[in-house]
Amino acid sequence: MFHASCHCGAVRLEIARKPRTLTECNCSMCGRLGARWAYYTRKAVRVVCSNGAMQAYLYRTKTYEYYHCKVCGCVTHYARVNVKRSDKVAVNARMMKPEDVASISIRRLDVRKRKRGRAERT
């Protein structure tokens, strides 16, 4: 069992295994968070927290819910609102012990470049 936790410990995640790769994304949300995401199926991640300790944030298209701890503010994970569309949950590896994830390779997802490309074509 692998663990992740917000700063104050009110929101803890129990994860089936160590991540194999981490993803850094530069979209308007992830870029601000400075998050590194590790993707799992929902059943591989168990969220442990008291009722009301977590809050979800949705924006624009309301496709994804970003969860953060109400006490310390750390964003712990996000998931698609519609479970039928995706069985995945993205855990913020910044909530894992740095020494546990230091050697894992990081994939850089440049969505801004993709958007620039799209704008140039139209």
Q: Which of 93, 43, 44, 85 is nearest to 63 (CA)?
A: 85
Nearest CB to Zn ion, comparing residues 58 and 72: 72
Binding to Zn ion, residues 63-102 (CB under 5 A) = 69, 71-72
By CB under 5 A, residue 15 contacts Zn ion: no
Strand order in the sheet with 88-92: 54-57, 64-69, 75-80, 88-92, 37-41, 22-25, 106-109
By CB under 5 A, residue 49 contacts Zn ion: no
In order of 5, 75, 84, 110, 111, the CA distances from 119 in angstroms are 39, 31, 31, 15, 12
Among the residue ranges 9-17, 26-34, 58-66, 88-96, the one whose residues contact Zn ion (CB under 5 A): 9-17
Nearest CB to Zn ion, comparing residues 36 and 68: 68
Q: Which of 46, 77, 53 is nearest to 64 (CA)?
A: 77
Shortest distance, position 71 Cβ to Zn ion, whole Å: 4
One residue of 2, 4, 6, 90 binding Zn ion per CB under 5 A: 6
Nearest-angstrom CA–CA distance, 53 and 34: 22
Among the residue ranges 2-10, 33-41, 97-105, 113-121, the one whose residues contact Zn ion (CB under 5 A): 2-10
Q: Which residues sit at the interface with Zn ion, rule CB under 5 A? A: 6, 8, 10, 69, 71-72
